[in-house]
Amino acid sequence: MNISYRNMKKIKHQSRILACWTLAIIFFFPIFWMVLTSFKTELQAISIPPLFIFEPTFENFSIVQERSDYFKYATNSLITSFGATIFALIIAVPSAYSMAFFPGKYTKDILLWMLSTKMLPAVGVLMPIYLLADAAGLLDTKTVLIIIFAMMNLPIIMWLLFSYFKEIPSEILEASRMDGCSTFDELRHIVLPLSWGGVASAGLLSIVLCWNEAFWAINLTAGDAGTLTALIASYSSPEGLFWAKLSAASTLACAPIIVFGWFCQKQLVQGLTFGAVK
Amino acid sequence: MKKNIKILAGSAILAVASSAAVQAGELTVATVNNGHMITMQSLTGHFEKDNPGIKVNWVTLDEGTLRQRVTTDIATKGGQFDVMTIGMYEAPMWGAKGWLHSLEFGSSYDVDDLLPAMRNGLSANGNLYAAPFYGESSMIMYRKDLLDAAGMSMPDNPTWGHVQDAAAAMTDKANGVYGICLRGKPGWGDNMAFLTTMANSFGARWFDEEWKPQLDSPAWNHAVNFYVDLLTHYGPPGSSGNSFNEILALINEGKCGMWIDATIAASFVSDPSQSKVADVIAYAQSPVAVTHRGANWLWAWALAVPAGTQQSDDALKFVEWATSKEYINLVGEEKGWGSVPTGTRSSTYQNMKFLAAANFAEAEMKAILSADPSNSTQEPTPYQGVQFASIPEFQAIGTAVGQQMSAALAGTISVEDALAASQKAAEREMIKAGYY
Amino acid sequence: MKFSVSKALQAPSVILLLLWMIVPLSMTIYFSFMRYNLLYPERYGFNGLSNYDFFLTDPALFSAVTNSITLVGSIIAISVILGLGIALLLQETFKGRGIVRVLLISPFFIMPTVNALIWKNMFMNPVYGLFAFVSGIFGWPVVDFLSDFPLLSIIIMLSWQWTPFALLIFMTSLQSMDTEQVEAAELEGAGFWSKFRYLTLPHLGRAIGVVVMIQAIFHLSIFAEIFVTTGGGPGYDSTNTTFLIFTQALLQFDVGVASAGGVFAIVVANIIAYFLIKTVAKGMAK
């Protein structure tokens, strides 16, 4: 009886692991396929039936490198997405902290209103923003992208931080206040360490969203400030099959953020669990 | 962690500081991601060598994005670009508004060498506003092997009836071969570019002389019914999502018997490095129903200099270089004569090296020479353009109609309903724009 | 004392967002009453309500709104349920869990246009796509995804991209579950469902609310995936409000109608948000 129970548990454990891997492979397969395609020739890329085994070529990558200054685009992406995220986090952390721990009468409404600033569809406000950016002399600069990205993601970061901060048991904070912690100390020594995983995941999400933002990154830039989404746009063509090259460009564009995500996922899980704190 | 934040904050400040203004002597050229433009980009070094002090920056985008980007810029006088790649649709409209520099070149440019249809299509009030970089028309590309096997042949100027018979003969669905592949993805530059030429040949037109939309006419009905019927019986599944690239993939894999599309496609399907059927493809003129007028389209990608640029002299130099005879020679010598930009100059088609290198040259030239944007329909119209009407409203009208056509093709609504809805959509736009 | 400090801390975000909202919004509202087409700069002038009249009488409007709601609703439902399930599965500790986690989150890192191109060309094409290839092996009929099920195709693409988002949030939130409580419940013999119902779900309530609200905002303005794959068709079958604004206004550079459409989209978004708050996000600020 005891043995069979243990066996049951083991089988359950094993089948859950199997399910995890199956799901992971299903979800990752399209990306794997894109990366695989980037090593094919254009003819192999459209082959029927699809090719799984073939002699890989690096031609696509060398063409992308030759044709466009990948590092310029990548640097722009890096600067704009990190710049905007840091900017937004600096503003959002204190705000979310104060909303979570000193909620006022209108806190909930303010939060909802913040989210509603994202409701204006980009295609509807292209002209106003373009005219403003032009008037400010900010067209084709990283500055304008940093500002727009930060404003776009601020509400989301606020919401995420707010919800993570809310999960911190209030007893911990009360104890610290008894000890005479100032607001700043409390934020720095108690709230942030406890919700570091949450801050990291909010930051990661914001960076990813900036990294993949295409509409503004293409419409407000020309030769100087284009990000990797603009690089991708330069490889899709309505007349000509460039799947292998497009896949190579996409692989190059997504690789940094996937690698970054891989490092971050450790941060996300390392966030201290409250059970251990108590 | 603290250190990381410091570094990151530093990079943010750096970003703000480094967003400096464009330097003098730098030209920003906006272009589309088509093969000929990529060649031009790779040859920029020659231009920079001949013109020391000028550096060329490229902004390459796909067609739709580029159009939106440059229109926004030129209309708001943003001044982001010194040279713009625009099409035959924009050039006359923008030229007439005074948004573009009118182009006058020295005698060595030989402006009379430009094909008359191209020159007319890019001019307004007698002034040339954009210099043609490459031009294209549409034609039939077909699998000669399949047609021979079916015991049929393709005349140089086939009728739509003959094309239908050929499609029926070549279709072999069991082996995944479809007699004909045509565009179906909605969009004024996608399915409507093709469908307009087909309708033209059936005797239809977009507008009458009073700018009344004519989509409810029998000619449109006949043409669209023929199109839907043809693709339903002999076309590949998923036609309503297919545009140029999707069909190119199909034909390169040997799945299509015939394809009627841009002449530029010939350079792809005849390229063994990407096509499995490169050596069995042959070419003929676009099919005709009741009139040959407007049966094949005419398009040019051209280089223009916006009036707002502060570097118009350098920009004009670049435009002259990229559209000159010397440039065509340069491409021929450096990249091979099969990949020179075609459809712009009559001298290209007199060049033996080109004629020898490109087996599609003759069919392409014939198609381009037979298209006339100012006389493209059986009945008179007030607009310019073969596969479009060069008015600002056309993009929206064409796309709305294109959505209806794709629905008719997918079988979700009848052709009659689709055309009735299209007519309404077109009328709405024209009323809003104040035509009547 | 505390209260004013908290106000000072909130001020920067509130003021910045206020500016970010008010300036473009007031310009949009202003333009929505103007006759303003970039291609006809000479015809600029007051236009009354005709931009709204034009946009609101569009025959595609009804389909566009229902498609928008269908898209938002189904993508949220799929991503929350899948994300929740996977997050719970991933609580199992095993070797290679980090890799599994990264593989599962990766789709969120893919750019929307690339996402659309991968699915359209490499998977869903009825002739040369992988799905057609797999159906061929098993002798199943080939499904023509983009023509016959355009909306479903877009839902698949977006769910693939956004389930990882939900998963990421849920995973982070599950970190802070009280393990002692769970162990205590297990000792008392609580089964999976009762643990889920009485411990996990309440704990994740706020995270679910956040995921739903953020996704709702994002999915109301889906554009790239539709533009690249179906062009809004066949017919209006995959046109949403954003795409309608694009075809009716931006495509012909009619700033007036685009602005009217933008104002309409805000109204629709607010109505949807109102219902979402009533049903889902009640517990947000408790």
Tens of pLDDT, residue by residue over B213-264, are 999 999 999 999 999 999 999 999 889 888 888 899 899 989 999 999 999 8
Average pLDDT over every residue of C15-23 = 86
From A225, A202, A275, select the one nearest A80 (Cα to Cα): A225
* Three-state secondary structure readout of chain B: CHHHHHHHHHHHHHHHHHCCCCCCCEEEEEEECCHHHHHHHHCHHHHHHHCCCCEEEEEEECHHHHHHHHHHHHHCCCCCCCEEEEECCHHHHHHHCCCECCCCCCHHHCHHHECHHHHHHCEECCEECCEEEEEEEEEEEEEHHHHHHCCCCCCCCCEHHHHHHHHHHHCEHHHCEEEEECCCCCCCCCHHHHHHHHHHHCCCCCECCCCCECCCCHHHHHHHHHHHHHHHHHCCCCHHHCCHHHHHHHHHCCCEEEEEEECCHHHHHCCCCCCCCHHHEEEEECCECCCCCCCCCEEEEEEECECCCCCHHHHHHHHHHHCCHHHHHHHHHHHCHHHCCCCCEHHHHHCHHHHHHCCCHHHHHHHHHHCCCCCCCCCCCCCCCCCCCCCCCHHHHHHHHHHHHHHHHHCCCCHHHHHHHHHHHHHHHHHHCCCC
* Residue A11 sits in the same domain as residue A89: no
Q: From CA C110, how far away is CA C129, in angstroms rounded?
A: 20
- Range of weakest confidence among B6-20, B164-178, B363-377, C126-140: B6-20
C33 confidence band (pLDDT: 50, 70, 90): very high
Cα atoms in the Cβ-side hemisphere of radius 13 Å centred on B3: 0
**Chain A residue with the nearest C-alpha to that of B264:** A239
* Residue B226 sits in the same domain as residue B304: no
Average pLDDT over every residue of B351-367 = 87
**Chain C residue with the nearest C-alpha to that of A32:** C103
| B residues 249-268 lying closer than 8 A (beta carbon) to A | 249, 252-253, 255, 262, 264-265, 268
Report CA B5 to chain centroid distance, whole Å.
49
Q: From CA B103, how far away is CA B414, in angstroms rounded?
A: 48
* Residue A15 sits in the same domain as residue A122: no
Check whether B291 has a pLDDT greater than 70.
yes
Question: Does residue B367 belong to any structural domain of this protein?
Answer: no
Q: Is the CB of residue C113 less than 8 Å away from at least one CB of chain B?
A: no
B22 confidence band (pLDDT: 50, 70, 90): very low
* Residue B132 sits in the same domain as residue B44: yes
* Residue B213 sits in the same domain as residue B261: yes
Q: How many domains does chain B have?
A: 2
Question: Does residue A48 belong to any structural domain of this protein?
Answer: no
Q: What is the pLDDT of residue B154?
A: 95
Select the residue of A46, A80, A238 nearest B243 (Cβ to Cβ).
A238
* Residue A68 sits in the same domain as residue A123: yes
Q: From CA C54, how far away is CA C35, in angstroms rounded?
A: 12
Name chain A contacts of B81, Cβ cutoff 8 Å. 222
* Residue B292 sits in the same domain as residue B344: no
* Residue A270 sits in the same domain as residue A150: yes
Whole-prediction pTM:
0.86
Q: Is the CB of residue C253 less than 8 Å away from at least one CB of chain B?
A: yes
Tens of pLDDT, residue by residue over B147-181, are 999 999 999 999 999 999 999 999 999 888 999 99
Q: From CA C54, how far away is CA C51, in angstroms rounded?
A: 5
Q: What is the percent of chain B where pLDDT is above 70?
A: 94
- Range of weakest confidence among A193-202, A210-219, B142-151, B395-404: A193-202
What is the ipTM metric for this complex?
A: 0.86
Domain housing B383: 138-297+377-432
Question: Does residue B217 belong to any structural domain of this protein?
Answer: yes
Place of tokens 């108690």: A190
* Residue A145 sits in the same domain as residue A227: yes
From B85, B59, B32, select the one nearest A139 (Cα to Cα): B59
* Residue A11 sits in the same domain as residue A99: no
Tens of pLDDT, residue by residue over A134-143, are 888 888 899 9
Provide the token pair at B306: 């916006």
Name chain B contacts of A237, Cβ cutoff 8 Å. 32-34, 62-63, 245
Question: Does residue B39 belong to any structural domain of this protein?
Answer: yes
Contacts of range B67-71, beta carbons closer than 8 Å, 24 or more positions apart: B68/A219, B68/C250, B69/A218, B69/A219, B69/B30, B70/B30, B71/C38, B71/C39, B71/C253
Report CA C52 to chain centroid distance, whole Å.
26
Question: Inter-chain contact C31–A127, Cβ cutoff 8 Å?
Answer: yes
Place of tokens 């409250």: A274
Question: Inter-chain contact B80–A222, Cβ cutoff 8 Å?
Answer: yes
Q: From CA B394, how far away is CA B185, in angstroms rounded?
A: 17
Name chain B contacts of C144, Cβ cutoff 8 Å. 237-238
CATH of region C61-238: 1.10.3720.10
How many angstroms away from the CA of C86 is the closest CA of chain A? Answer: 7
Question: Does residue A181 belong to any structural domain of this protein?
Answer: yes
Mean pLDDT, chain C, whole residue set: 85
* Residue A84 sits in the same domain as residue A193: yes
DSSP C206-275: HHHHHHHHHHHHHHHT--HHHHHHTTT-STTTT--HHHHHHHHTGGGTBHHHHHHHHHHHHHHHHHHHHH
Query: Is the CB of residue B241 less than 8 Å from the CB of residue B184?
Result: yes
A92 confidence band (pLDDT: 50, 70, 90): very high
Residue C92 DSSP code: S
Query: Of A90, A125, A234, A243, which to mutate for an interface test with B (greatest number of B Cβ within 10 Å)?
Result: A234
Q: How many domains does chain A have?
A: 2
Question: Does residue A52 belong to any structural domain of this protein?
Answer: no
Question: Inter-chain contact C111–A214, Cβ cutoff 8 Å?
Answer: yes
* Residue A142 sits in the same domain as residue A241: yes
Mean pLDDT, chain A, whole residue set: 82
Tens of pLDDT, residue by residue over A218-244, are 888 887 888 988 888 777 766 666 788
Average pLDDT over every residue of A43-50 = 78
Select the residue of C86, C118, C179 nearest A30 (Cβ to Cβ).
C118
* Residue B247 sits in the same domain as residue B394: yes
CA dist C148 → B170, C12, C125, C152 (Å): 26, 49, 12, 9
How many C-beta neighbours within 10 Å does residue C107 have? Answer: 23
Partners of B31 in the β-ladder:
B60
Residue C140 DSSP code: P
* Residue B277 sits in the same domain as residue B383: yes
How many angstroms away from the CA of C113 is the closest CA of chain B? Answer: 12
Average pLDDT over every residue of C1-17 = 76
Q: What is the pLDDT of residue A261?
A: 77
* Residue B423 sits in the same domain as residue B399: yes
Question: Does residue A50 belong to any structural domain of this protein?
Answer: no
Question: Does residue B257 belong to any structural domain of this protein?
Answer: yes
Q: Is the CB of residue A141 less than 8 Å away from at least one CB of chain B?
A: yes
Query: Is the CB of residue B135 less than 8 Å from the CB of residue B344?
Result: yes
B141 confidence band (pLDDT: 50, 70, 90): very high
How many angstroms away from the CA of C181 is the closest CA of chain A? Answer: 9
Tens of pLDDT, residue by residue over C62-82, are 999 999 999 999 999 999 999
Question: Inter-chain contact B410–C148, Cβ cutoff 8 Å?
Answer: yes
Question: Does residue A137 belong to any structural domain of this protein?
Answer: yes
Question: Does residue A43 belong to any structural domain of this protein?
Answer: no
Residues in chain C: 286
For A140-166, b/e burial (b = at least 16 CB within 10 A) is: bbbbbbbbbbbbbbbbbbbbbbbbbbb
Q: From CA A54, how far away is CA A56, in angstroms rounded?
A: 6
Question: Does residue A68 belong to any structural domain of this protein?
Answer: yes
Q: What is the pLDDT of residue C173?
A: 81
Domain housing A25: 2-37
Query: Is the CB of residue B28 less than 8 Å from the CB of residue B82?
Result: yes
* Residue A119 sits in the same domain as residue A17: no
Question: Inter-chain contact A230–B61, Cβ cutoff 8 Å?
Answer: yes
* Residue B348 sits in the same domain as residue B309: yes
* Residue B170 sits in the same domain as residue B228: yes
Q: Residue A158 belongs to what H/E stretch?
A: helix A142-166
* Residue A33 sits in the same domain as residue A66: no
Q: What is the pLDDT of residue C280?
A: 64
Tens of pLDDT, residue by residue over C168-201, are 888 888 877 777 777 788 788 777 788 888 888 8
CATH of the domain at B228: 3.40.190.10
Question: Does residue B6 belong to any structural domain of this protein?
Answer: no
Q: What is the pLDDT of residue B6?
A: 43
